[in-house]
Structure 1
Amino acid sequence: MEEGITDMDCRVAILKTANGNLMKENKEFKDKIERMEIQSRKFNLHVIGLKTDIEKSDPIAFVTNFLKEVFGSELSCEPAVEIAYRIGQGTDLRPRPMIVTMQRYQAKEAILKLARSKGEILFRDVRVKIFPDITPDVARKRALFNDVRMKLRKTEVRHGLLFPATLIVTFNGQTKLYRDCSEAEHFYKTVISPVSVQTRNEGGK
């Protein structure tokens, strides 16, 4: 019986080691796939709101003209489109989104910057929005910063999200980067919030 228990303990230890190695390898593979997917979307834009079939048989030409029409001379470079296609399912009220791959990364970033500054784009009486094309995992990581970003907006502190999911905050002449939302929350509570409260109190006197 003692020999059997000892043998079983050895087997369990071997299985635990093997399981640990498999978990480590699995995480490495998942991280590698995630990095590859992020890289594959690096030049992409996610366009929502364009009417179904408005692009007819030439989506590349249509999107190129669309970008020129809505941004015009504000664009600092030529919006050369490499690929444009629809994804998912849609209805008349919610047309299928479009994925647009730009030939130049600089053009993609310039378009996103202009889209953020405009907020919502009106194109032929239709409201259109342009976002970066991100993976579900990146979207989840970015969403973790929603609460602290809302607080930063209320206190009018300059901030933004760097790709893929890094919060950048500029306060009192200093710029800080946060990849962990809990660290960003701590900075807000201990540094920004006390100053904001003091400013409001002084303003109310």
Structure 2
Amino acid sequence: MEADNKRLLEKMADLEDSSHRNNIRVRGVLETIVQEDLPSYLLWLFQAIQASLEPADLRLDRAHWVPKPQNLAQDVPRDIVTRLNYYSAKEAILTAQRKASEIPPTYVGIALYADISPTTMSRRGDFINVTKCLRNNKLPYRWGFPTKLLIWCNGSLTKIEDPAQGMEKLKTWGLFPDTRTAASQAATWKVTAD
């Protein structure tokens, strides 16, 4: 019964994530920008991050401020959620942001994220020690469904399905504590998605 409930919750989270597939969550934009100006502001931001996209590729279906969580400080701006018409444009923008070495000064402090369900976000949060170690070792990673980390190591795929398993794998691979150098990791590790 418990396993059935878990599968049902995973499927519901997946459905919600699918409905957010084209969304980008934008964090750090000052709330001095009024709702009417959000689309044009976001288009300028996305063009600055991924200049190779044509204006026709950057069609926004909607953009709005989200309600502020109760535990967020008053001086911290609310997030913006926007939906791009084209999934490929959304992916190009998020990929460019991850690879960007610098961002124009106008947009410093702004971060972009995929918009995922609270259930998925909470589940990914359980892996924070594993993902922090991967980032500290300059290793990119991808998420799979249901929530798991997908890592290619020395030519074979390793699926990390729970945080404890992840910490054990990191120790086995000599990454936790962070014992390998970034150069040797880059030569022997590859991370991919489903």
Change (3 A) 1:152 1:183: same
Aligned to 1:15: none
Higher helix proportion: 1
Aligned to 1:7: none
**Structure 2 Cα separation of the partners of residues 122 and 171 of structure 1:** 35
The DSSP-based 3-state class of the residue aligned with 1:72 is coil
**Structure 1 Cα separation of the partners of residues 34 and 51 of structure 2:** 19
**Structure 2 Cα separation of the partners of residues 35 and 24 of structure 1:** 16
Alignment partner for residue 142 of structure 2, among 161, 177, 181?
Answer: 161
**Structure 2 Cα separation of the partners of residues 49 and 86 of structure 1:** 11
Name the larger-Rg structure: 1
Alignment partner for residue 99 of structure 2, among 110, 117, 120?
Answer: 117
Would you say how many aligned residue pairs link Structure 1 and Structure 2?
175
Q: Does 1:136 align with 2:115?
A: no
Aligned to 1:36: 15
Q: Does 1:180 align with 2:162?
A: yes
Q: Tell me if structure 2 keeps the 8 A contact 1:55–1:62.
A: no
- TM-score, length-scaled by structure 2: 0.70
**Structure 1 Cα separation of the partners of residues 152 and 8 of structure 2:** 36
Q: CA RMSD of the aligned region, Å?
A: 3.4
Q: CA deviation at 1:95?
A: 2.2
* TM-superposition CA deviations, 1:86-108 (whole Å, max 9, x none): 11138884222110111111111
Aligned to 1:102: 84
Change (3 A) 1:122 1:51: farther
* TM-superposition CA deviations, 1:36-94 (whole Å, max 9, x none): 21121111110011122425524333322321134323x48922211111111388842
Aligned to 2:66: 87
Structure 2: gaps (5+ residues)? 182-194
- TM-score, length-scaled by structure 1: 0.67
**Structure 1 Cα separation of the partners of residues 179 and 107 of structure 2:** 43
Aligned to 1:61: 40
Structure scoring higher RCO (CA < 8 A, sep ≥ 6) equals: 2
Structure 1: gaps (5+ residues)? 1-19, 200-205
